[in-house]
Amino acid sequence: MLRGRQDEIRAYTMANLAPTEEGEDEDGTSSNGIAYVIEENPTGGMRMIANKDFECGDLVLQELPLVLFPLPAKSDLRLSLRRALNAFDDAKRADYMGLANIYAADEVEPVLGIFVSNKFEVFSTDGAEAASADRTKPFAAVFKDISRMNHSCCPNVVRYWCTASRSMHVYAARSVQKGSQIVTAYCDPFLPLRERRALLLNTYKIACACPACTNSESAANRVRIRNIRDDSAAVIQWTLTPALPDDLLLVPSLEQLKLIEDEGLEGTEYYARVLRRLWLHIFRVGRLWSFRILWADVEGVEDRERDEEIGRDKGNALGAGADPRRCGSPPVVYAA
Ligand SMILES: C[S@@+](CC[C@H](N)C(=O)[O-])C[C@H]1O[C@@H](n2cnc3c(N)ncnc32)[C@H](O)[C@@H]1O
């Protein structure tokens, strides 16, 4: 039953997320219409590779887990895993047992070693559970394909658990070119470098060599990003206060945007914060443009003269001092 559902989602993933045509692409390679491929990593193990270009926000894949358990495990996890595996059909059991096991050399039962090597913690993100205390109770899920994604502290995708469909959604956090590796963050990329290193080594046996772990300036950059506050109230106040310069937020916001992009952290809330602020900037300046157009229509002035006029009036531009008769209607755009 669950298998049928998984096949359905897989078919959906392939049909809807892989709009590349069968046959040869522009670069002469064959994409065969699949959004991603799982292949051997030259440095060992497996990896997930984009088989088409993705833009920021594109759904890369959506997948049901092979197993999903509440954490901490309520009963003996090994027993539960064994029971789950016994209930699987052969193909699904082979999918699970074919996943990486970084504890293979240790005295850990393979079902458990595979679980620990491949699990992603998931939280309820929607519906009644999200609103309830369950939100704080994570589950751990292992996936046939998603568990093939390697780690980077500069991930190019973000993961969202959808409780309603009991599936994980993976979205591109920035442009991802066909042929590049799809990488996700196994831990909080804002953890201090030393903590990140210890966690990745102890839990996943990873000595991360991503740009953030090898660039000596990255740690300081990440602290700066983490200090970007949710200043929505102040920004809205600026939007509504014509006396404050139009470009007050522009330069710092663009600098912050670049900083986040340089650190490869577009999938984080900080990027959304800065983009929201820039959107408000466009909202305010965009209104200025509307005002100019309106003004030009009414007055029929030349562009140059109009710009000069607006430049002169800019201190009170569109505020109390602007002459409403000149544009036929009061400049109410910034009225609080
Ligand atoms: C969830 S699996 C990822 C897929 C795995 N590479 C495979 O072969 O199936 C996690 C394991 O992959 C390897 N891995 C993931 N990210 C890595 C990285 N950035 N550097 C080195 N090894 C990594 C580690 O062995 C880690 O324990």
Could you report the per-residue pLDDT of 153-204, keeping only the tens digit for each?
999 999 998 888 889 999 999 999 999 999 999 999 999 999 999 999 999 9
Residue 63 confidence (pLDDT)? 96
pLDDT at position 306: 46
Q: What is the mean pLDDT of residues 121-143?
A: 66
At residue 194, the pLDDT reads 96
Residue 23 has a pLDDT of 47
Residues near 43 by beta carbon (within 8 Å), at least 6 away in sequence: none
> Is the per-residue pLDDT at 219 higher than 90?
yes
Give residue 135's pLDDT. 55
Rounded distance from Cα 185 to ligand 1 centre (Å): 11
Q: How far is the CA of 150 from the centre of ligand 1 (A)?
A: 5
First to last CA, the chain: 57
Tokens of 189: 């990329």
Residue among 95, 182, 184, 206 to mutate when testing ligand 1 (max atoms within 8 A of CB): 206
* d(CA 299, ligand 1 centre) in Å: 66
Residues of CATH 2.170.270.10 domain(s) within the chain? 2-204
Report which protein residue has its CA nearest ligand 1's atom 19.
151
Identify the pLDDT of residue 50.
98
Mutate to test the pocket of ligand 1, among 150, 168, 203 (most ligand atoms within 8 A of CB): 150
- 312 pLDDT above the threshold of 50: no
- Spell out where the chain has E strands: 36-40, 46-50, 59-63, 67-70, 120-122, 139-142, 150-151, 157-162, 167-172, 183-184
User: How far, in Å, from the CA of 46 to the mean position of ligand 1?
Assistant: 7
* Residue 203 alpha carbon, nearest atom of ligand 1: 27
- Rounded to an integer, the average pLDDT of 119-148 is 73
pLDDT at 56: 94
Q: Is the minimum distance from the CB of 150 to ligand 1 under 6 angstroms?
A: yes
Longest dimension (CA), the chain: 84
Residue whose CA is closest, atom 18 of ligand 1?
151
For 71-124, what is each residue's pLDDT tens digit?
A: 776 678 899 999 999 999 999 999 999 999 999 999 899 999 999 999 998 876
Instruction: Name which of 1, 133, 13, 11 is nearest 70 in CA terms.
Output: 133
Mean pLDDT for all residues in the chain: 79
Measured by CA distance, the residue closest to atom 21 of ligand 1 is 206
Separation of alpha carbons 321 and 316, rounded Å: 5
Fold of the domain spanning 2-204: Beta-clip-like (2.170.270)
Q: Please report the ipTM that was assigned to this predicted complex.
A: 0.99
- How many angstroms does the Cα of residue 45 sit away from the middle of ligand 1? 7
Least confident of 33-37, 47-51, 151-155, 206-210: 33-37
**21-30, 35-44, 86-95, 249-258, range with the lowest pLDDT:** 21-30
pLDDT for 216:
95
For residue 188, how far is the Cα from the chain centroid? 13
Measured in Å, residue 41 CA sits from the centre of ligand 1 at 10
100 lines ligand 1 (CB under 6 A): yes
Whether the pLDDT of residue 35 is over 80: the answer is: yes
Instruction: Calculate mean pLDDT across residues 121-142.
Output: 65
State how far the Cα of 34 lies from the Cα of 112, in Å rounded to an integer.
31
Nearest Cα residue to atom 15 of ligand 1: 150
The yes-or-no verdict on residue 59 having pLDDT over 90 is yes
Q: How would you write 79-122 as a 3-class SS string?
A: HHHHHHHHHCCHHHHHHHHCCCCCCCCCCCCHHHHHHHHHCEEE
Distance 113 CA to ligand 1 centre (A): 13
The pLDDT assigned to 290 comes to 53
